[in-house]
Amino acid sequence: MNLDLFSGSEEGKAQSPSAFDLASEQALQLRKLLHLYAHAYYTLDAPEVPDAEYDRLFKQLQSIEAQFPALLTADSPTQRVGGAVLPEFSTVRHQVPMLSIRTETDTEASGASAFDARIRKELNLPEGASEVAYVAELKFDGLAMSLRYEQGILVQAATRGDGEYGEDVTHNIRTIGQIPLQLLADVPSVLEVRGEVYMRRDDFDALNSRQLLKISEGAKGEKTFVNPRNAAAGAVRQLDSNIAAQRPLSFFAYGLGDVLGWSQGAAPFQSHYDLLQTLKGWGFPVAAQTKCVAGAAGLVDFHAQIAKQRDKLPYDIDGVVYKVNDLGLQEKLGFVTREPRWAVAHKYPAQEELTTVQAIDVQVGRTGKLTPVAKLAPVFVGGVTVTNATLHNEDEARRKDVRVGDTVIVRRAGDVIPEVVSVVLAHRQPDAQIFTMPHICPVCGSAALRDVDEADYRCSGGLFCGAQRKQAFLHFAQRRAVEVDGLGEKLIDQLVDSGVVSTLPDLYKLGLSTLVQLDRMAEKSALNILSALEASKSTTLPRFIYGLGIRHVGEATAKEFARHFGSLDAFMTASLEELLEVSDVGPIVAQSVLAFFAQTHHQEIVAQLRACGLRWEEGAPAERVPKPLSGQTIVLTGTLPSLSRDEAKAMLEEAGAKVASSVSQKTSYVVAGSEAGSKLEKALALGVPVLDEAGLLSLLKGDSNDGT
């Protein structure tokens, strides 16, 4: 909406009728739209637009009302907190209104400095006067809550509602473990604690996983949630507290409402920071990041420090909050309309924005994964201009039902790849086409396959696919595979990007003159690479099989294949039934091997590598002698006294065990050394036997051991 039309005098009616009429119509439309979005956000818990879009429209309405004061109405969203009481809940009148605080939309350091300048002006502080002390807090993305205690007992919990009247949600709030039902400390006879109910990110992810499982099992009426705030609000507003109890919620306290009957006749604190410490002493959680700072410099530094931590926090925030610390100064500064003068919420760049989908492409990653990517109309979100957003995989693209031409909410948090959160269905065009995942690699034309129980399609082109070349070279040259010393990522990038190599055999055709032309490649370094390539020609069959990068074929499986078949030709030509005879090889691995060698270009690459001089010892298939740990799955964690991780792994595999990276109910043993972490904790929780190094050596000797 263009506000340049409204430049002129303070009194709108003094301008031309057409300008006033236009402003009146635009203000009316903005009020309707903001009420609609607020209803969806606060009451239905189903936000239709990102917070940044609501803030923009809100600011536009404020600008119009400032230019045309006659258009300011009592029901304007700028004159109230927002929200409504659902008819299913009892109404609660707040004895002390739950007002919102002003939002500073300048996301730069200047936003913090501007707040300090306003406070100093309101307090008539001259230049050179002492800096104002502030409390800096996090701005949580949750649901504001008022907890009323009488004689130390929680008797009522109410939402903010419209600021004056809220909803009684006591039955659900009682399910939150962080909220004390009874205060054991010496507290006032009536105490209202204000704070934020929220959902941690890990709890949110677990909740959505459970929801997806229910949906896959055919449960009706179930859905996934857009974001943690939406999930938290939905849980708080459940009529059945049993449902609310299944949705993990958390709470942070940040202030007080109605208070009566201080034991000493007056509050035991003079500052907001001391108030927070008192709340903490009474048993309420207070965010650890909260701190006292001095002046504009302190606010700026806090804003910058939290910005660095934002994406690592276990919960969502969209900014920080500054409050004058001295309660006497707070009282002196007072309120203006709907917000206190002594506080402000300083936002960070929006992590969600609206834009449109111009196309949906499919990209092929370095490991062959096919990812649908929405090509977007450029939009500034999370501090950068975004033109692409991932749709993750076919299932996610279908679940979100993203189509070309759709208006979508895009999210970008820190360095996380931008993603499409949801579609604004009200804006969908009737001819929008449903996205269909291709089953052919768009880079090399090889078949794109999806394994059972996996969400991703992967190109089967492997060594032939241009998108996978760099990863194929790195994997082939690594220490546990064929091993080409000195052939690292930077050198491979140069070789592939310059077109010098395109397939693995090209490595063995490199000459000195070609290498010395590369950046930062002296003659001595080039000679070292050529020497390493020559040395790598003498390898072993397990290393070569592993180096081919066949999906699902790790080191241990490569060793089993080499031991079972004895020769590469026997392995390459094995049938499904023959592959399944190999120890610990199931249908997924067997099908992956068949698919790999079904590609003629893979057969050609193997033949060319042999022609380049790669060699290994071959022989008759090994006699199938039972091994003591066949069928056992073992996990290593921590540091063992005398054995390295590789040594312990090699010994276990030689004894027939499978060494896994994660603990499950199928794990036979966990071998734990010093500084063992979550794997040991999970093993103990699941009742998996735990061994130390002595127990491992005893197990390898064939002695029975039930663990410690």
Q: What does the pLDDT look like over 398-446, one tens digit per residue?
A: 889 999 999 999 988 766 689 898 899 989 999 898 999 999 999 899 9
DSSP-assigned letter for residue 13: G
Handedness of CA 287, 293, 295, 301 (dihedral sign): negative
Q: Residue type for 132, please?
A: V
Return the higher-pLDDT residue of 346 and 467. Answer: 346
Q: How many CA atoms lie within 13 A of 617 on its CB side?
A: 4
Structure letter (DSSP) for residue 659: E
**With pLDDT > 90 as the criterion, what percentage of the chain qualifies?**
50
Report how far residue 160's alpha carbon sits from residue 194's, in angstroms, rounded to the nearest whole number: 10
Enzyme catalytic residues: 139
Per-residue pLDDT, 44: 67
pLDDT of the residue at 406 = 95
Mean pLDDT throughout 242-257? 90
Average pLDDT, the chain: 88
pLDDT grade, residue 43 (50/70/90)?
Answer: low
Token pair 């926090």 is at which residue?
A: 313
Alpha-carbon span 653 to 557, nearest angstrom: 10
What's the CA gap between 289 and 307, in Å, rounded?
12
Give helix then strand counts, H and E, for the chain.
24, 24
Mean pLDDT of 67-73: 88
- 444-490 pLDDT, tens digit each: 999 998 876 678 999 988 778 888 888 899 999 999 999 999 999 89
Residue by residue, DSSP assigns 174-222 as TT-TTS-SB--S---SEEEEEEEEE--HHHHHHHHHHHHHHHHTT-SS-
Residues 6+ apart with CB under 8 A from 122: 333, 341
The packing angle between helices 201-216 and 228-236, to 10°, is 80
Share of the chain above pLDDT 70, in %: 93
Specify the pLDDT at position 703. 65
For residue 266, CA distances in Å to 95, 261, 273 come to: 19, 8, 17
d(CA 9, CA 11): 5
Mean pLDDT of 233-238: 87
* Torsion angles phi and psi, residue 669, rounded to 5: -145, 155
pLDDT, residue 6, reads 37
- Confidence grade of residue 319 (pLDDT, cut at 50, 70, 90): very high
Examine the pLDDT at 534 and tell me if it is beyond 90.
Answer: yes
User: Residue 637: phi, psi to the nearest 5?
Assistant: -150, 145
- State residue 13's pLDDT score: 45
Tens-digit pLDDT profile for residues 124-171? 999 889 999 999 999 998 999 999 999 999 999 999 988 899 999 998
Please check the confidence at residue 624 and state whether its pLDDT lies above 80: no
In this predicted structure, the answer to whether residue 568 has a pLDDT above a threshold of 60 is yes
Return the minimum-mean-pLDDT range out of 108-112, 134-138, 298-302, 704-708. 704-708
CA distance 168 to 158: 5
What is the rounded end-to-end Cα distance, in angstroms, of the chain? 70
Q: Is the pLDDT assigned to residue 52 strictly greater than 90?
A: no
- Is pLDDT larger for residue 703 or for residue 500? 500
Q: Which residues contact 203 (CB under 8 A, 6 or more apart)?
A: 228, 248, 250
SS3 of residue 408 by DSSP: strand
Q: Does position 620 have pLDDT exceeding 90, yes or no?
A: no
Tell which wins on pLDDT, 276 or 83.
276
Q: What pLDDT band is residue 45 in, cutting at 50, 70 and 90? A: low
pLDDT tens, 626-668? 678 877 889 999 889 899 888 898 888 878 788 888 888 889 9
Q: What are the chain's domains?
A: 4-79 (1.10.287.610), 102-347 (3.30.470.30), 460-624 (1.10.150.20), 633-700 (3.40.50.10190)
What was the pLDDT predicted at 3? 38
12 pLDDT tier (thresholds 50, 70, 90): very low
Tell me which of 386-400, 533-547, 643-657 is least confident.
Answer: 643-657
- Name the pairing type of β-strands 369-381 and 457-459: antiparallel
Burial (CB < 10 A; 0-12, 13-18, 19+), residue 24, is middle
Phi, psi (degrees; rounded to nearest 5) at 245: -65, -25
pLDDT category of residue 218 using cuts at 50, 70 and 90: confident
Helices (H), 317-389: 327-333
pLDDT score, position 1: 38
- Check residue 326 and report its DSSP letter: B
Q: Is the pTM of this model over 0.85?
A: no
CA distance 392 to 455: 9
Q: Determine the angle formed by the axes of helices 587-598 and 600-611, rounding to 10 degrees.
A: 70
The answer on pLDDT for 5 being more than 50 is no
**The pLDDT of residue 4:** 38
Chain Cα centroid distance, residue 373: 18
Counted residue by residue, the chain has a size of 708
Shortest CA distance to 355 belongs to which of 415, 401, 424, 414?
424
Rounded CA-CA distance 55/340 in Å is: 19
**pLDDT band at 78, cuts 50/70/90?**
confident
